[in-house]
């Protein structure tokens, strides 16, 4: 996995519920720690957000997005899955928007300073 991270722009992971336990050993937290070491941002999709969910930011998860509105049995989630796919798709559109904004910002900085962005002085 670590070798693949060198080529990744972002990592998307998921968990049924993100809460205070997530940073204490759930898979998304371990993925985020490894991504953090490689400088790769992480988006975590969750069926639900529980108490203490914002604590995941401390382990390297940049953003969390809930895709379900209420807790439900797995069989119900599978049979009613379309709205959850739509919610996940909305999260992907937000990533695309962020990427587009970053690209525009980089292009404007290059135009303004006539230099690669990596060579620009800190603001």
Which has the higher per-residue pLDDT, 51 or 113?
A: 51
Whether 8 has a pLDDT exceeding 70, the answer reads yes
Look over the chain and give the mean of its residue pLDDT values, rounded to a whole number: 84
d(CA 36, CA 38): 5
d(CA 111, CA 65): 35
The pLDDT tens digits of the residues spanning 84-116 come to: 888 888 888 888 888 777 777 777 777 777 766
Which has the higher per-residue pLDDT, 105 or 75?
A: 75
pTM over 0.85: no
Instruction: For residue 42, name the pLDDT band (cuts at 50, 70, 90).
Output: very high
The pLDDT tens digits of the residues spanning 17-39 come to: 999 999 998 999 999 999 988 88
Among 38, 35, 25, 29, smallest CA distance to 64 is for: 29
């Amino acid at each position: 996995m670590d070798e693949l991270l060198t080529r990744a722009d972002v990592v998307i992971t998921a968990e049924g519920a993100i809460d205070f336990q997530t940073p204490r050993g759930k898979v998304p937290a371990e993925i985020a720690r490894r991504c953090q070491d490689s400088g790769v941002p992480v988006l975590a999709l969750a069926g639900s957000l529980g108490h203490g969910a914002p604590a995941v930011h401390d382990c390297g998860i940049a953003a969390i997005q809930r895709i379900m509105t209420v807790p439900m049995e797995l069989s119900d989630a599978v049979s009613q899955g379309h709205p959850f796919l739509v919610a996940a798709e909305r999260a992907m559109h937000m990533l695309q928007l962020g990427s587009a904004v970053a690209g525009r910002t980089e292009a404007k900085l290059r135009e303004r300073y006539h230099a690669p962005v990596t060579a620009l002085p800190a603001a």
